[in-house]
Structure 1
Amino acid sequence: MIKVVLADDEPLTRAGIRAVLGAAPEIVVVAEASDGRGAVDQVQAHRPDVALLDIVMPGMDGLAAAAEIVRTTPGTGVIMLTTFSEDEHIARALGHGAGGFLVKSGDPHELLAGIRAVAGGAAYLSPTVTQRVIRQLGEGGTGRMSRAARAREQVGRLTPREREVLALVGAGLPNAEIGRRLHVAEGTVKVFVSAVLRTLEVHNRVQAAIVAYEAGLVDRS
């Protein structure tokens, strides 16, 4: 069972999201909140698999709540949910340790897929967000080349097995699938992922996936 804490300041939005999640028998909303502070409190009380946070909320916003949840309850994956898709929100959300980013106007199936992915230890960006990130990465010029060189230098610090793990993280696979691909236990994958994040000096799997993309470990087609 995937336990979710849902935080949004609009009751109708929460009701709609709760209805979508209710269609998945393996997902259960264990608590709700109308602001970031409440979300943090509910996460600390229930220790859910996923915290689904609206970005714009009164008082403590979703980004600040995400940062505190990542710091105090690292076993809970964070997904940001918003009507906005501006680059600054994406960058700030990823910088605060979010493992997923979804827009409210997206397909409900994206919401379910994102929760399943983040609960399984993977990162998830909605297709709209992915296109924006990839477009930024694909911009030409010396900035693009310098990022690639930096990524190759970072990847060069990894062991061969860690590079394999990073490539699969970059492909968006959850820990369980990575374990099956590499014929190792899921717990071992978690150890490898932690080592990869530490060596690359990144905060989360999304940032690691970007490094993998820039270093050429992920198919760009």
Structure 2
Amino acid sequence: MKNKSRYFLSEFIGSCFLVMIIVGSGLMAENLTNDIAVMLIANTIATGAGLFVLITVFADVSGAHFNPFVSVAMTITGKLKKRLLPFYISAQILGCMLGVALANFFFEHQIFELSTKSRDGVYIFVSEIVATLGLIMIIFGSMKSGKITVAASVGLYITAGYWFTSSTSFANPAVAIARTFTESFTGINYLNTPFYIMAELIGMIIAIFIVKKLFLQKN
């Protein structure tokens, strides 16, 4: 039980700070400029830097997943015990929800507010499939090189993903749910959230197939 509480707390705090960074930096950018490109640059830098730090800090405790589909992928491939999966997913979702509430509060918004930011279309759906597929492949492909390599790889990939995908690479269902509750340019309309999560699920499934072929087969 002691280890479970450590894992829960690690994933909860990490997920909370991740969403605080994503949403908070977006709200700060909106306060400082009307230029969407500048907003996205600010949001991108903060998110990439935050991911590097959070993964480095929490990797040795819980693995620093901060993402239900990463945890599911780890479970399917035998790198996370099945009995721990509910603790991870609940911690990640609750952490993300606290993160968006705090970020909204910091910038004098309602603690929870439904986003009207539309993110729909088949091009965005396919983009989010690719974003999630790439994230999970990069995690598994860099794991043997140590936590600093994983942290740098994930941080840099998501930094790039903000710009090469039309979905801006959420690649995380807990983050997608949380971002439904911020009325800012980082938000997502609740009508679009289920399609993001569906796309992420498809991306995860494809990624697991590739990961097993590339990184988990014995020579």
TM surpasses 0.5: no
Query: Could you say which structure has the higher strand fraction?
Result: 1
Query: Could you say which structure has the higher helix fraction?
Result: 2
TM-score scaled by structure 2?
0.27
TM-score scaled by structure 1?
0.27
Greater relative contact order, per chain length (Cα 8 Å cut-off, separation 6+): 2
